[in-house]
Amino acid sequence: MTTTTQAPTQTHHLQVRTDPAGKPLAVRHDGQIWLVDPRTVAQHWFGGGIPRDSGRTAAAGGDLESAEYWRVQVRLGASTSALRTFELRRGPLGEQWMLESITDD
């Protein structure tokens, strides 16, 4: 089995639905809805070096300089399609999600 990483093509159409704690549940990307597989373990961390924007609040658990990252395994809709790994990034102000990478597992 080979692992292939590709750069996302349309990050401006990315929408992420999260649970109340902020964990991604579903991702709308490139006109399709990808559901996070509940049987997999999501990875979550903060990092980067985003410039400070005073007077605003950061994403829960982060600070005003660090981006929030999630690595989740997803399937296309409610199908039994092969798992793909999406690495998601959200700026420290928690407003817009970006798709860093897609990996076929």
11-63 residue pLDDT tens: 456 899 999 999 999 999 989 999 999 999 999 999 864 444 434 444 555 45
Is the CB of residue 36 less than 8 Å from the CB of residue 17?
no
Is the CB of residue 15 less than 8 Å from the CB of residue 31?
no
Which domain range does residue 95 map to? 4-104
Structural domains counted in the chain: 1
Residue-wise pLDDT tens digits, 89-104: 988 777 789 999 999 8
| Block residue for tokens 């985003």 | 50
The answer to pTM > 0.85 is no
Could you give the dihedral angle defined by the CA atoms of residues 90, 88, 7 and 93, in that order, rounded to the nearest 10 degrees? Answer: 0
